Amino acid sequence: MVAQKAFIQPITPQARLTNALSSYAAYLDKTFWPSGLSIYYPHRGYLIPFWEVILVIALLASLTILVIYLARRFPYLAFGWFWYIGTLVPVIGLVQVGAQAMADRYTYVPLIGIFIAVSWGIGDLAQRWALPRWVLPVCSTTVLLVLAALTWTQLGYWKNSISLYRKAISVTDKNYLIMSNLGAELFSQKQYQEAMFYFSESIRAEPRFELGYYQIGNLLMLHGDCRNAVPYYQQAIAIKPDYIKAIAELKYCVHDLSVKENVSRAGPRQIP
């Protein structure tokens, strides 16, 4: 999985809690307005603003109080809401697995509760307002067509890895892991200049992302620039002392530089 291979920055319980609260609201937002979807959402840690946390707490508390108040008349609202809240707990990020803030796939089961509450609620409202029988089928068909069009658009980003990664970068901030992945794809297609750009952006977004330094070192070494590759390998090892691949490449670079230096000192061979 992409998320589990990411550099995992130490995340405090407070940061995990604020991210969890924010994710509850973000999942609802993306459910009813499915835009800005990404294959990977980087964890924001302490970067979640205080006002956002307060707003999310107020929203979740208000919805909880409302469904409890309406529970006797509309029990499906309470069932749907607490199903959503409860089934998200194991995957909401209180126990951190990987470096992702959230993942859309985690909502497959929790959103069943929201859909039950919405669908039964719409049925109740249609009866109370005595809507004509054709209204619900027409509205439902319209919603399904819109969602089908959005799905078709979203599937277009999955035609290849490069388009998928570019989309993720465009809708998220400081997505260092996806920048690194995009750089690796471009590297494999010999688009070295653009690959270097994304490798550099990955370590700019997360200065302790050891893979980014390693990738830059590899790209420099590929072009025969061992001298400039050495500090990148050294930085990768400084972050992750047991980084075997970086250690091996650093040794190769140092050996190569040593050989070249010895040859340079010896000067050209004299023909006897």
What does the pLDDT average to over 21-38? 93
Tens of pLDDT along 194-223? Answer: 999 999 999 999 999 999 999 999 999 999
Q: Which residue is associated with the tokens 């209180």?
A: 94
Q: Which one-letter amino acid corresponds to residue 66? A: L
Looking at residue 13, its pLDDT comes to 85
Q: Which of 74, 73, 85, 148 is nearest to 114 (CA)?
A: 85
Q: Which of 80-89, 93-102, 261-270 has the highest mean pLDDT?
A: 80-89
Given pLDDT bands bounded at 50, 70 and 90, which one contains residue 77? very high
Tens of pLDDT along 237-255? Answer: 999 999 999 999 999 998 8
Q: What residue ranges in 6-116 does DSSP mark as E strands?
A: 41-42, 100-102
Q: How much of the chain exceeds pLDDT 90, in percent?
A: 73
Answer whether 56's CB lies under 8 Å from 17's CB. Answer: no
d(CA 21, CA 31): 16
Q: How far is CA 193 from CA 41, 98, 163, 172, in A?
A: 26, 30, 18, 23
Given pLDDT bands bounded at 50, 70 and 90, which one contains residue 96? confident
Residue 10 has pLDDT above 90, yes or no: no
Domains and CATH numbers, the chain: 3-156 (no CATH), 162-260 (1.25.40.10)
